[in-house]
Structure 1
């Protein structure tokens, strides 16, 4: 008899891989995001942060992503000059919208682990190669780091970059995204302290 699949996960019975990790902090994170007023609306400051993140890393897509129990919300989004567009079929130019389910992409792994994740070629990792974003959007590489809440210590979300080609992020890319995630975490803390979010 096999063990039950944890709540709020996806499971591929053909490969026996847990594709979306169990997220025990989700209810507390949802409450904290509501308290902060994050994860429901786009924020111009976060869009600007995402644009700078894309330019710094050389990625065509970047996001400031907050994750609840069922979905991901890109409060900051840069999509190579195409903000606000919806997820399209693989025959069209790869595009991304403001929301995704928890089963799409790699940020849920970063949030649960509370550690940065670098995938220079997602196809090199069977656990990640089967993610829907590979076939639906054509994502081939990913790099993300958690946004750690200074008050609670939990990961509220991520900053991340993706590319439709393989991308050699390297150690420099990892150091950069971790540093920028810390900067944005500090900024969120400052905004809360000042009562501006």
Structure 2
């Protein structure tokens, strides 16, 4: 077998927390169905950033589920994607925000299926880390044009993640 450095770059990251995340998400009642409140939250993120796509995404062992979704088509997009589509699995495994001003500048990300299927050219995402320290998923925005997200974009997406985690914790505590 011949070594192919590009194939290595395109691998979806190994997510050893996925089984525990599934249990935690089920306990929180998240990641199984669309939620109007999370759709509204995605809409607010799109408005704040000027991005046409915004998602609240929860990941399990096999898939990603957009419990909150804003698209130019008004949410008509499919809410389930495999783990090898998009950039959120990297955010969850790395547990750090990811800024891609032009995905084509990064060999690891340029070959992702979303580039060809949806025309995504830029991405900004932050992990949703709960009070147990587990990364449950992400909040993210994306555009079909390269974008200079800059420090302001990074600060915005991190703030969105923190605010949403406060809401999830309030819900868990029965205060929502």
TM-score clears 0.5: yes
Residues 61 and 79 of structure 1 are in contact (CA less than 8 Å); yes or no, is this contact kept in structure 2? yes
Runs of 4+ residues over 3 Å off in structure 1: none
Q: 2 CA distance for matches of 1:77 and 1:180?
A: 14
Point out the structure with the larger helix share: 2
CA drift of 1:17 comes to: 1.6
> SS of the counterpart of 2:39?
helix
Number of residue-to-residue matches in the alignment: 175
Instruction: From 146, 150, 157, give the equivalent of 1:177.
Output: 157
Q: 1 CA distance for matches of 2:148 and 2:70?
A: 20
Q: Which residue pairs with 1:42 in the alignment?
A: 34
Does the alignment pair 1:70 with 2:62? yes
> SS of the counterpart of 1:108?
helix
**RMSD (Å) for aligned C-alpha atoms:** 1.7
Instruction: From 100, 107, 128, give the equivalent of 1:147.
Output: 128
The gaps in structure 1 that reach 5 residues or longer are 3-11, 86-95
Does the alignment pair 1:20 with 2:12? yes
TM-score (norm 2): 0.95
CA drift of 1:41 comes to: 0.5
The gaps in structure 2 that reach 5 residues or longer are none
TM-score (norm 1): 0.85
CA drift of 1:195 comes to: 6.9
Q: 1 CA distance for matches of 2:80 and 2:98?
A: 20
